[in-house]
Structure 1
C-alpha cells in the first residue's frame, strides 16, 4: 500500500482520462491522494455539445468540473497552480519544479504520477512532467518516491518497452466513468461518439472495454 500518492498534471481532466481507475483504487484502499493541476485549461477547444461555455466562462467551468471529478474519485487535496494554459513550456523549469518540490516535501509521497517526459505529445504535458522529475531528483536518493509516467505518444511501447505496471480497474469502472463524465465540457461529445460506435461495431466495443479497464504506467528513471 502506498503511503501517499501525488498526482501532477497540467489540465483539468488529465487526472481522469486513463488514470481515474488507478486513483479510485488508491482512495478506496484509504491511500491519501494529492492532485496538483497546473492550469485551468482555459485554452481548451471543447465547449460542450451543444455549447454551454465560451472562452470567458471556460476556466471557471473547468475548475468546477475538476472539483466534481475529485469528489467522485475521493481526492480531498487539490492544489491549483493557476498557470496559463498552453504556456507551461515557456515557464522557467526550475520555478515549475519549485512548485512541485514544495508539495512533495509537504505530503511526503511514496508514489508520484505524471505524464512520461518527452512522451506527453502536448507541450504542457511534457513541461510539467519534466519539472516533476526535476523536483524528485532534488531529493536524496533514499527519499525519492517512485514516479509513474503515462506516455501518450503512438510509439511509446516501441521506445520504452512494455509497461512496468498494468492495473485492472474493472472493479472501479463506474467511478472512473463518473470522473470522466464530470468533465462534461471535454467528454460529452467523445462519449456520445464512442457509444454510437459501440452500438454498430462489436469488435470496437470489445477493444474499448479492454482499453477502459486496463491502465498502464511506466516507471520514470531519475538521474
Structure 2
C-alpha cells in the first residue's frame, strides 16, 4: 500500500488509457490517489462516434467524462489545473515545476506517476513529464517519491527495454473498463470492441479480460 499516489497528466483520459489499471489497483488497496489534470482536452479532435460534441461543448463534456472516470477508478481527489490544451509546451517550465513541487510538498506521495519524457509523443505529454522529472530531481534523494512512467512512442522499447513494473490488474479490470467507457467522446470505437468481446464466446471474453488484466510501466531512476 502506498502512502499517497500522485498522478500527473495533461488531458482527461490520459489517466485511464495510460495507467487506469494501476490507479484502480492502488485505490482498491486503500491508497489515496490524487489526479492533477492540467487541461480539459478542449482542443481534442474526437467529438464522439457518432458525433455528440462540438468545439464549444467539448470542454464541459470532457470534464464530466473525467469525473465519471475518476469515480470508476477510485480517485477521490481530482485537481483540474486550468491550463489550455495544446499550450503546455509554451508555458514557462518553471511554472509547471513549481506547481508539481507544491503538490508533492502538500501530499507527500510515496509514488508519482506520469509519462516517460522523450517517449510520450504529444508536446503536452512531454511538457508535464519533463516538469515532473525535474521537480523530483530537485528534491533531496531521501525525500524523492518513487516515479513510475508510461511510454508509448514507437521507439520506446528499443530505448528503454522491457517494462520493469508490472501491475496485476485482474482484480480491477471492470473498473478499468468503466473508466474507458466514461471517456465516451474519445473511446467509442475501443469500447465497442471491448463490449463485442465481452458478449462473445467464452474464449473471446477471456481474451478481452486478459487484455485488461495487466499493465506495465517503467521506474524512473535518477543518476544522483
Alignment TM class, shorter chain as reference? over 0.9
Name the counterpart of 1:55: 55
Name the counterpart of 1:140: 140
| Superposition CA RMSD, Å | 2.2
Name the counterpart of 1:79: 79
Q: 2:116·2:150 contact (CA, 8 Å) conserved in 1?
A: yes
Q: 2: CA distance between counterparts of 1:211 and 1:217?
A: 15
Question: Would the alpha carbon gap of residues 220 and 209 (structure 1) be closer, same or farther in structure 2, given more than 3 Å must change?
Answer: same
After TM superposition, the runs of 4+ consecutive aligned structure 1 residues lying more than 3 A away are 193-200, 202-211
Q: 1:165·1:218 contact (CA, 8 Å) conserved in 2?
A: yes
Name the counterpart of 2:28: 28
Q: 1: CA distance between counterparts of 2:96 and 2:204?
A: 40
Name the counterpart of 2:101: 101
Residues 25-54 of structure 1: per-residue CA shift (max 9 Å, x gap): 111111000100010000111111111110
Q: 2: CA distance between counterparts of 1:151 and 1:132?
A: 14
Q: Give the aligned length.
A: 223
Q: 1:9·1:36 contact (CA, 8 Å) conserved in 2?
A: yes
**Normalised TM-score (structure 1):** 0.92
Question: Would the alpha carbon gap of residues 203 and 125 (structure 1) be closer, same or farther in structure 2, given more than 3 Å must change?
Answer: farther
Aligned pairs (5 A) from 1:199-210: 209-210=209-210
